[in-house]
Amino acid sequence: MVSPEGELRNREDTARALEKIAAAEHGDHPFPGLMTCLPREEAAQGRRPLSAGGKENLSCLVRAEESLFVLRLDPPCGGRLHEKGRHFLFDEGKNGWYEKSFQLIVTADGAAGINFEHSARTAFPWGGW
């Protein structure tokens, strides 16, 4: 992870930052990642109030938009294979940022998965239609 000053964090600082993120309360706030599932015009309308929500809001939004991928720290997803599959594929869309080429997903119960935009697969000759 990178610090606000642009420096690489050491392992302990990274662990503390990830623990802080995982412990954050979401309350009754909307799930901004859901707007990334909408058609472009509707997503742009959803972005306006987020970007107008103050300097910190805009900074977080820009970081998400400019990142190479998203690391999701999710709650437990269940022990059965189909529960994990449902979670990693869509999990109601609440904790994802679907405009990225891929999302790395790590759950509190130790499962890990990946969710990627379909063109990553269809771009290969063996993955096309």
Per-residue pLDDT reduced to its tens digit, 34-69: 777 778 788 888 788 877 878 887 887 888 888 888
pLDDT on residue 6: 78
pLDDT on residue 1: 67
Helices (H), 2-115: 11-23, 40-51, 55-66, 81-89
pLDDT on residue 126: 55
Residue 90 vs residues 25, 96, 98, 105, 115: alpha-carbon distances, Å: 21, 8, 10, 11, 8
pTM: 0.66
- 19 pLDDT higher than 60: yes
